[in-house]
Chains A and B, each alone.
Chain A
């Protein structure tokens, strides 16, 4: 298994541009999520999905859009990039173990918005 994969690894955008960060997992996990990591802030949840066709907002959803048409893929869309969205973005997936879920993280996408 490749696990959780993310593309691109690094991206530079200009303010106002849009783009999609890709995330895919081959473990048939039902749950997927997007986090952003900023220095001194830890990771903060942007959006999550509990299955195909079902998404919900996390702690910091503004400026981001998601959809989940398949179990494997969970793309994150930046509608109009702003410098405040400069960050490292991590995608994660998990499955139920009966008494909890463990999230497995992808390698991340480093985004710079000028």
Chain B
């Protein structure tokens, strides 16, 4: 079974600082990769996703992620964070079989606190 590791449990940054959240997965085949964000008290919202093609994907709110297949990584980045980015961020992966990839495996999440 696949697994997802998010290296940072809690990250604290000042506004305008750059952000990079690590995500590594363990699965040898083709995968679909996702980053979701959960603002306090809210449900999960999709930030960005990678299915195929350009390994650098851009999402909403200025976030981007780079898929490095050789490192089994899909790190999330943002050049300048805002207080409103305070949230919990989840990396998720599902193996792609062509017949449907239905079972998301999530990392344990990284809480981001942005100090004004």
Contacts and interface: CB of A to CB of B under 8 A. Distances in A.
A43 B96 contact: no
Contacts, number: 65
Given A42-B106, A105-B43, A107-B43, A31 B100 contact: yes
A35 B44 CA distance: 11
B100 A101 contact: yes
A102 B102 contact: no
Contacts of B36: 105
B52 interface: yes
A65 interface: no
A41 B104 CA distance: 14
DSSP majority for the B interface?
A: loop
A40 B90 CA distance: 11
Interface stretch (A15-23, A68-76, A77-85, A92-100): A92-100
A50 B90 contact: no
Interface residues of A, number: 26
Contact of A45 (B46, B100, B104): B104
A50 B100 CA distance: 9
A96 B51 CA distance: 12
Contact of B109 (A33, A42, A96): A42
